[in-house]
């Protein structure tokens, strides 16, 4: 290929027990998928259809590590989430067939500039500046379904400087992983390499430079970041 600017590289995630990597195509994120978090954001957690937004794929921070505190915010929030990694895609995937499209699962943090999100909500503007900034998607290594099976229940938690801030259970998700895949695939064609963040339980809050964040999902793994 004779390109006029350097061809962007594809971000990749490590895989548990493998030397191969998982290339990231797109990142979809589901909002308000745990009732207690919907309530803390001032919303009524009815089973309204799930909504989703995107993050650019190069916002991924593979395996966590150091995160530079982003500009233009004074309220950077953590949101621990189960992340689904797709091996195959398609349109209009029935929920009953969705598990067959999943390569594996990971632990992710949907970093959010909460002050910019609040402004966007007020003005009816998009969430890109609140959600899609550099390094806004730390993701752990992927545990393949072939090694760990599927995740529909189990503890999900996050701590800041050793103090627990979030704790829930995957079984509290309003929309299950298969239902989420079915829903998103009605709007867009899903494809190999896609990641889906599936929402966060209650307890979101701010982090500042110097903070060490640890989070994990029972039976899946852990992820650590440090804000610098
Ligand atoms: Mn989120």
Tell how strand 143-144 and strand 76-78 pair up: unpaired
* Spans of all domains in the chain: 21-227
pLDDT value of position 42: 86
Which residue is associated with the tokens 């001032």?
Answer: 42
Determine the distance separating the centroid of ligand 1 and the alpha carbon of 197, expressed in angstroms.
7
pLDDT category at 38 given cuts 50, 70, 90 is confident
Determine the distance separating the centroid of ligand 1 and the alpha carbon of 96, expressed in angstroms.
25
Determine the distance separating the centroid of ligand 1 and the alpha carbon of 71, expressed in angstroms.
20
pLDDT value of position 224: 98
Q: What is the pLDDT of residues 58-112, one digit of tens each?
A: 999 999 999 999 999 999 999 999 999 999 999 999 999 999 999 999 999 999 9
Determine the distance separating the centroid of ligand 1 and the alpha carbon of 19, expressed in angstroms.
29
Which residue is associated with the tokens 């007020």?
Answer: 122
Global model pTM greater than 0.75 = yes
Contact 155, 24 (CB under 8 A): no
Rounded distance between C-alpha atoms, residue 33 and residue 46, angstroms: 10
Helices vs strands, H then E, count in the chain: 5, 18
pLDDT value of position 30: 97
Give DSSP secondary structure letters for 158-198: EEETTEEEEEEEGGGBSS-HHHHHHHHHHHS-B-TT-EEE-
Domain 21-227 sits in which CATH superfamily? Fumarylacetoacetase-like, C-terminal domain (3.90.850.10)
Determine the distance separating the centroid of ligand 1 and the alpha carbon of 3, expressed in angstroms.
36
Rounded distance between C-alpha atoms, residue 200 and residue 41, angstroms: 11
Determine the distance separating the centroid of ligand 1 and the alpha carbon of 225, expressed in angstroms.
17
């Amino acid at each position: 290929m004779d390109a006029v600017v350097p061809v962007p590289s594809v971000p990749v995630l490590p895989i548990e027990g493998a030397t191969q990597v998982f290339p990231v195509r797109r990142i979809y994120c589901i909002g308000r998928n745990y009732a207690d978090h919907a309530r803390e954001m001032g919303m009524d957690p009815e089973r309204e259809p799930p909504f989703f937004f995107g993050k650019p794929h190069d916002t991924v921070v593979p395996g966590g590590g150091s995160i530079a505190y982003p500009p233009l915010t004074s309220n950077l929030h953590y949101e621990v989430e189960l992340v689904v990694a797709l091996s195959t895609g398609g349109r209009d995937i029935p929920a009953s067939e969705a598990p067959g499209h999943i390569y594996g699962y990971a632990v992710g943090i949907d970093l959010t500039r909460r002050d910019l999100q609040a402004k966007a909500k007020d003005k009816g503007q998009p969430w890109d500046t609140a959600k899609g900034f550099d390094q806004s998607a730390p993701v752990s290594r992927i545990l393949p379904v072939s090694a760990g099976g599927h995740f529909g229940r189990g503890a999900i938690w996050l701590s800041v400087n050793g103090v627990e801030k979030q704790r829930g259970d995957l079984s509290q998700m309003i929309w299950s992983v298969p239902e989420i895949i079915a829903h998103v695939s009605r709007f867009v064609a899903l494809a190999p390499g896609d990641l889906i963040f599936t929402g966060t339980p209650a307890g979101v809050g701010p982090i500042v430079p110097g903070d060490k964040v640890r989070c994990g999902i029972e039976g899946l793994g852990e992820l650590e970041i440090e804000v610098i």
